[in-house]
Amino acid sequence: MIIDCHGHYTTSPKALEGWRTAQLDAVARALRSPDPSELSISDDELRESLEKNQLKLQRERGTDLTIFSPRAMAMGHHLGDERASLDWSRVCNDLIHRICRLYPANFAGVCQLPQSPGASPAGCAAELERCVKELGFVGCNLNPDPSGGYWKDPPLTDRWWYPFYEKMVELDVPAMVHVSASCNPNFHATGAHYINADTTAFVQFLLSDLFRDFPGLRFVIPHGGGAVPYHWGRYRGIAQDLKRPPLEELLLKNVSFDTCVYHQPGIDLLLKVIPVDNILFASEMVGAVRGIDPRTGFPFDDTKRYIEAAPGLTDDDRRKIFEGNARRIYPRLKVTS
């Protein structure tokens, strides 16, 4: 089985965007926000949005199951207020749940959290618990920067986040570290803001004793870890200068990386630097890069091809990357080969 640990519902019906626009307009004008029950999307509309996109690509590319979450760019934690974020998160998470019920062999749910700048992460625990216990979700996406590119909240390693981590450990679910849209004009969202966040989260973990306090806490850093594999020597050196333990001991029991790296040399570097046990297959389709690479003739985000072509991997290595590591990191994932 091939498990893609990183997929977003980027092809949702237009009614969802319309509901969100109405909600944010109501917040801005201090009017009554639309009720989540006012959103009407049929099962047939959900099927149509998926059959022509994610499911079509699953079949064409030979993957089996996608760990699926709401569209990251649209989480928009910097927009509206806490109440708006909660309602928006519930609307998006309920759609993911419906998709997982329609296609239980193809999708497993990961939830959006109702984060808001300056709001305690403890307020997200109830929605995480609802999604895991009632909707059967296997993890969450955690935004390290709800301000949308201005980094106004404490680092992920600050005790400010600890109440939420306690809930993660209690439920035995991991978090993918994933920002949303950038409202800072200095940072293009997918080209800079995403990669900045991946790298920043890793360095925050490196400088802290978070995993001494939470030895069972698990994070997936997406997009191949941002700049981390390329600068592994720098981070080893920083840890050494600060008298920290080696990175393998300090972080790799708790932190993994996905394969959303869209060219063969990048994947080859990731595989040379990061241990196989810490790499999860992912494509983020249909996502940030949707075009065809003119150098290969294949889609940039067809990452399965890169793993299959990577030199030096054994069959066991590929089984871990394609399936085994995801099952270990997401123990609530109940699928059969």
Q: In sequence order, which residues have a C-beta less than 8 Å from that of residue 306 and are 6 or more positions away? A: 259, 261, 263, 264, 267, 268
Which two structure tokens, joined as six digits, stand for 143?
A: 């935004």
Cα-Cα-Cα-Cα torsion 223, 225, 229, 235, nearest 10 degrees, comes to 160
Q: Are strands 255-258 and 65-70 parallel, antiparallel or unpaired?
A: unpaired
- Cβ count near 228 (within 10 Å): 26
DSSP reduced 3-state for 169 = helix
Which two structure tokens, joined as six digits, stand for 265?
A: 């040399």
Active-site residue, from 17, 284, 308, 323: 284
Exposure of 313 by Cβ count < 10 A (0-12 exposed, 13-18 middle, 19+ buried)?
A: middle
DSSP reduced 3-state for 66 = strand
Q: Is 129 a catalytic residue?
A: no
Distances 53 to 4, 58, 144, 233 between C-alpha atoms, Å:
15, 9, 29, 39
Active site residues: 284
